[in-house]
Every structure is written in structure tokens, then in C-alpha cells.
């Protein structure tokens, strides 16, 4: 142990568990890559103002959870707490929306930072895979994203997740609903903070987890009953597309992503094996965000899936990912001359695409074989003085124990043939 530890609320990804994380990232993004989404990477930090506007001044993320810093040059920056604002900023900056090819479909993967109270499934540094489809209003696009996330989770073997679905209306019907909700909320017995929230962001009050608040909300007006004809029919089409794709969902009229520019489709993926931090992913339509960032009107939809919680969900379900072994061949030389000869073979194997490793550090035969077994390799490649005299090495199948002598210059082709 060193004097230092990973900061509070963070953890390291190290082998062997890190292989699962890599596989989850890969699986969550694979359906996107097959659906025309292009890879996007943005800086780990942005101007504070981008998130203040892009996430919302009244959200916990902005008011309490951002890691902010002032640079030596006097810039106010924040470590990114989420991906949408950055990705939309990047798309606008590069004028991707002017290519005449809408929607612009982008996917991303990376680290996010929120100063939250750490607990299982809630960290200060976490990892997301996300997708944004920018510049199109089409129920099939909303459905596409939900289907892709669904298929990604299924491809990992996850079964115990549910999809919650709602519509938040648009700039026509939402303000009417908002006013009705405010009027209702003002009559309740609420603390001062919550009262302030009624003015700034009343929908978020619906999301309050406290029993004392929820108890008073049973008769609250619901967006569902205030949707305009356009929103109703849009939502109906999203639902039809999901059903046609065999994707089951639950209507959840209380699901809000309480920001004013979130519109229409909103959804969350929850997993019941995760305790209180049950959301494994979420997203929705944000038709007003581009304009909030100073861009043109660009109706868009996106999601972000949490890698950490997806890994926890896999563990909760007892799903073992079938990962290919990271080493195919492990070389065990006996003696100096064999070290030189087998090291050359290992290099040749790697250049031909075979995953190979070597017993470094002058280990004795017994320790070297232990390393070979621990590496998960299918084959050990052994050679001693007698083998070298005959220009062969012994290829040992570590599963069956069977061993055959192979001429040194044919090891690569032999191994490739066996692995194929």
C-alpha cells in the first residue's frame, strides 16, 4: 500500500474486473455503431456557463454537484457532469447541422464527474456511453434510441431491467400544464426550498423522493392529461414503434427530467437489483436545448447509459460475461538460449495477431508454469536445451495436457491453425 488512495467516491478499474467494464462499454456502443452514429469525443472540462445553461441553473447537478475551477488565466471551467451539453456544443461549433444531412447522429463514451454523496452505484467519477440524434423530429428516431439501448442491455444478457416512458409535452401544451401544476403545488404544505422550486421548476417537485411530499401529490395534475393533439399523436407513434419492435415499456406519468427544454419523449431504464440507485440509463427529447446554447432550433433526442451501474446490474443478475481469454499462448523458456529463441517466437506470434505472453524475470520452470496457467492461455510454449538442439519447442495444450513438438519456424502457423 502506498500513502495515497483513490479519492472519496471513486474507484479504480483494474484487472481482472476491468475487462468486464471494457466489454460493457463495447456492448453498449455496438448497436449505435450499427445504426449510423459517429464517434465523438469532447474535452473533460467545459466553460461552467455551458452546463449552467445546458443542464439548468435550478438542477442539483449545477447548484451542488459540479466540480468547478478557475484557471490561472481566469477561465471558469467545470469537469463535465454529463454529456449532452458538450456534444451539442461540439456539433454546433463544427456546424455539423449545416451538412444538410439531418439528424446528426453521434455517440460518445467517457468519464463524468459529480460531487454527490457516495454510495453503492453513486460515485463522484463514473462512466457513461451516450448517444444524441440532433436536428430531427420523428417518433421513429425516439423509438430507435430506446430500441438500441434495449438491445444493448439484452446483448449483455441483462433481463431484469424495465423501461419507464412518458411525454413531457411541448412549448404549446407544457406551459398550460406547468401553470396548472404550480397552482396545485402552491396549495400544499411544503418547505421553503420546495416552494422556491415551484416557481423555477415545478415539474421537479413531482420527482421529490420524500414520502411527506409524495403523499400530497396523489391528486396532482398530470402532463398526460394536458398533452396537445400533436404531442399525443407523436407519443402514440413512439409507443407503436416500440411495441412493433417487441420492446416492452411501462407508462410512467410521473417520470420527469425536470428541465424546461426537455420535451415530449422521456424515458428511463431501471434495474430492480440495484437498490436505491436503480437508474441504469435515461434520456429523452430536448427540442429547446440548441436555442438555449445560442444555436438554431434543432429538435433532438438522446440518452446516456451508466457503465458502472450496468456492471452492477450484471452482477446482481449473476450474469457472467463470456470474454475471450486475453492470452492464447504463454512462453516458458528453460535456459538462456531458450529465452532468446522463444522471445523471438512470441514477437512473431503477436505480429500475426496471436495474443502471446512470456515468462519474464528469469523465473524457474515451476513458477513460469504457474504464470502460464494464471494467464488463462490455451497453450504453453516450452523449450529447453534439448528442444533447441532439435530446433523445436513443445506446444502444450493447457486444457487437455497434451503436448507436441513443433519446429520453431512452424510454431506461428501451427498455433494459428489450432486457434482457428
**Binding test (CB under 6 A) with ligand AMP, winner from 91, 181, 205, 280:** 280
375 sits near ligand AMP (criterion: CB under 6 A): no
Span of 306-314, 356-364, 377-385, 406-414 interacting with ligand AMP by CB under 6 A: 306-314
**Binding test (CB under 6 A) with ligand AMP, winner from 126, 234, 262, 330:** 126
357 sits near ligand AMP (criterion: CB under 6 A): no
123 sits near ligand AMP (criterion: CB under 6 A): yes
Distances (CA, A) of 348 to 337, 403, 406, 416: 17, 21, 15, 12
82 sits near ligand AMP (criterion: CB under 6 A): yes
Rounded Cα distance between 229 and 169, Å, is 10
**Binding test (CB under 6 A) with ligand AMP, winner from 279, 319, 365, 398:** 279
Residue number with CB closer to ligand AMP (10 or 237): 10
Residue number with CB closer to ligand AMP (31 or 282): 282
Other residues' Cβ atoms within 10 Å of the Cβ of residue 367: 13
316 sits near ligand AMP (criterion: CB under 6 A): no
The residue number with the shortest CB distance to ligand AMP is 306
Span of 25-33, 114-122, 199-207, 409-417 interacting with ligand AMP by CB under 6 A: 114-122
207 sits near ligand AMP (criterion: CB under 6 A): no
The cell for 13 is: 478499474
How far is C-alpha 174 from the chain's CA centre? 30
Residue number with CB closer to ligand AMP (82 or 170): 82
- Taking alpha carbons only, the member of 131, 130, 113 closest to residue 122 is 113
Q: What is the sign, positive or negative, of the torsion defined by CA atoms of 271, 276, 280, 283?
A: positive
* Nearest-approach distance from CB 261 to ligand AMP, in angstroms: 15
315 sits near ligand AMP (criterion: CB under 6 A): no
308 sits near ligand AMP (criterion: CB under 6 A): yes
* Nearest-approach distance from CB 278 to ligand AMP, in angstroms: 9
* Nearest-approach distance from CB 225 to ligand AMP, in angstroms: 25
Rounded CA Rg of the chain: 27
Residue 122 DSSP class: B
Other residues' Cβ atoms within 10 Å of the Cβ of residue 177: 21
* Nearest-approach distance from CB 286 to ligand AMP, in angstroms: 12
**Binding test (CB under 6 A) with ligand AMP, winner from 26, 67, 115, 116:** 116
* Nearest-approach distance from CB 420 to ligand AMP, in angstroms: 39
Count the residues of the shown chain that bind ligand AMP, applying the rule CB under 6 A. 16
E-strand ranges in 204-338 read 250-251, 263-271, 279-285, 300-306, 329-333
Residues 6+ apart with CB under 8 A from 249: 146, 162, 163, 164, 165, 239, 242, 267
Determine the length of the chain.
420
The cell for 247 is: 420492446
Span of 87-95, 212-220, 232-240, 300-308 interacting with ligand AMP by CB under 6 A: 300-308
**Binding test (CB under 6 A) with ligand AMP, winner from 169, 282, 288, 295:** 282
Residue number with CB closer to ligand AMP (146 or 349): 146
304 sits near ligand AMP (criterion: CB under 6 A): yes
Contact indicator for 30, 154 with CB cutoff of 8 Å: no
- Taking alpha carbons only, the member of 10, 9, 89, 91 closest to residue 48 is 89
Other residues' Cβ atoms within 10 Å of the Cβ of residue 420: 5
E-strand ranges in 289-385 read 300-306, 329-333, 356-358, 379-383
Rounded Cα distance between 386 and 370, Å, is 22
Residue number with CB closer to ligand AMP (147 or 313): 313
Contacts with ligand AMP by CB under 6 A lie at 82, 114, 116, 121-123, 126, 128, 279-282, 304, 306, 308-309
Amino acid at each position: 500500500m502506498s500513502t495515497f488512495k483513490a479519492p472519496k467516491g471513486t474507484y479504480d478499474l483494474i484487472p481482472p474486473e476491468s475487462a468486464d467494464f471494457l466489454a460493457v462499454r463495447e456492448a453498449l456502443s455496438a448497436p449505435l455503431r450499427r445504426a449510423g452514429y459517429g464517434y465523438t469525443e469532447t474535452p473533460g472540462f467545459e466553460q461552467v456557463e455551458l452546463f449552467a445553461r445546458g443542464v439548468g441553473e435550478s438542477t442539483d447537478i449545477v447548484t451542488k454537484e459540479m466540480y468547478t475551477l478557475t484557471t490561472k488565466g481566469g477561465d471558469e471551467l467545470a469537469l463535465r457532469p454529463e454529456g449532452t451539453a458538450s456534444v451539442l456544443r461540439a456539433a454546433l461549433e463544427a456546424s455539423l447541422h449545416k451538412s444538410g444531412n439531418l439528424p446528426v447522429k453521434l455517440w460518445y463514451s467517457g468519464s463524468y464527474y459529480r460531487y454527490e454523496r457516495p454510495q453503492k452505484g453513486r460515485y463522484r467519477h463514473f462512466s457513461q456511453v451516450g448517444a444524441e440524434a440532433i436536428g430531427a423530429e420523428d417518433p421513429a428516431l425516439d423509438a430507435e434510441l430506446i430500441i438500441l439501448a434495449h438491445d444493448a442491455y439484452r446483448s449483455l444478457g441483462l433481463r431484469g431491467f424495465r423501461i419507464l416512458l412518458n411525454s413531457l409535452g411541448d412549448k404549446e401544451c407544457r406551459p398550460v400544464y406547468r401553470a396548472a401544476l404550480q397552482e396545485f403545488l402552491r396549495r400544499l404544505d411544503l418547505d421553503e426550498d420546495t416552494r422556491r422550486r415551484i416557481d423555477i421548476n415545478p415539474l421537479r417537485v413531482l420527482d421529490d423522493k420524500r414520502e411527506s411530499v409524495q403523499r400530497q401529490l396523489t391528486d396532482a395534475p398530470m402532463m398526460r392529461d394536458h398533452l396537445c393533439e400533436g404531442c399525443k399523436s407523436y407519443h402514440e407513434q413512439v409507443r407503436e414503434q416500440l411495441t412493433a419492435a417487441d420492446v416492452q415499456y411501462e407508462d410512467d406519468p410521473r417520470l420527469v427530467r425536470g428541465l424546461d427544454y426537455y420535451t415530449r419523449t422521456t424515458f428511463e431504464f431501471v434495474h430492480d437489483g440495484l437498490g436505491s440507485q436503480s437508474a441504469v440509463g435515461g434520456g429523452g427529447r430536448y427540442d429547446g436545448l440548441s436555442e438555449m446554447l445560442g444555436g438554431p432550433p434543432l429538435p433532438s433526442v438522446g440518452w446516456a447509459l451508466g457503465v458502472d451501474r450496468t456492471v452492477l446490474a450484471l452482477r446482481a443478475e449473476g450474469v457472467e460475461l463470456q470474454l475471450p481469454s486475453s492470452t492464447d499462448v504463454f512462453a516458458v523458456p528453460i535456459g538462456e538460449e531458450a529465452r532468446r529463441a522463444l522471445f523471438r517466437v512470441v514477437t512473431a506470434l503477436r505480429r500475426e495477431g496471436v495474443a502471446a505472453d512470456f515468462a519474464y524475470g528469469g523465473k524457474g520452470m515451476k513458477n513460469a508454469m504457474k504464470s502460464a496457467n494464471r494467464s488463462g492461455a490455451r497453450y504453453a510454449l516450452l523449450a529447453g536445451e534439448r528442444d533447441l538442439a532439435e530446433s523445436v519447442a513443445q506446444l502444450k495444450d493447457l486444457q487437455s495436457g497434451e503436448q507436441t513438438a513443433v519446429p520453431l519456424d512452424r510454431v506461428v502457423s501451427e498455433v494459428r491453425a489450432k486457434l482457428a
